[in-house]
Amino acid sequence: MIASLLRLASGFAATTLLLTGCHYTEEEKWSVCCVLYVRADQAASDEARTVIKWHQQSDYDGNGKGGQGYYGEGKTFYSNKDDKIRADVTAFLDDNPEKRATDYFIGLGMTCGSYSTASSNDGPRCQIALPVRVICGPTYRFLPGTTPIPERLKKPVDGVLHVSVDLPAGRPPKTSSRVDPAPGGQLCHP
């Protein structure tokens, strides 16, 4: 058992040394690029900060597509951002029984309209586009010697966070999000 652990540790150490010695061209850095994270713009309103906060713990790939991501706030932890949003809507409706879920999202600056899907679970869809700062982090952040970040993305860049919340009748809210570069800018992939 101890011998197996020693072999595993020495293999990990050798891999670490190999990876930390790698040198990447700028083109290679762009081909792997990074994971994107969103942060509120300095001038963001409190309502915009609420929406951005839901999505800032999500990992966005180099094309700007958002993942589900967990949501943690102090000692409160949600398995994903949809659970957090559902809790926020429930609290709003408990405090305002005469209102609808769409009223909550409209209060955050979102526009709401109807949508339909092939499964006929149609209902309201609320959307917003917000200016954000985009931070580029290592793709394999937990591994030593991960691919370095392209020079141009080592500092936060301007972006636009697009958030959509579907409220299908009788089902929990479902969100989707993506990050696009600000006009004239670039994220990992053009």
Instruction: Read off the pLDDT of residues 19-71 as tens digits, 9 standing for 90 and up.
Output: 444 667 777 666 666 677 788 877 789 999 999 888 877 777 767 777 766 67
How many independent structural domains does the chain possess? 1
User: Is 154 among the domain residues?
Assistant: yes
User: Is 186 among the domain residues?
Assistant: no
User: Is 17 among the domain residues?
Assistant: no
User: Is 6 among the domain residues?
Assistant: no
pTM: 0.75
Render pLDDT for 59-72 as a digit per residue (tens, 0 to 9). 777 677 777 666 77
Domain with 163, as residue range(s), is 34-181
Tell me the DSSP string of 32-99: H-EEEEEEE-TT--HHHHHHHHHHTTS-B-TT-BB----EEETTEEESSHHHHHHHHHHHHHHH-TTS
User: Is 157 among the domain residues?
Assistant: yes
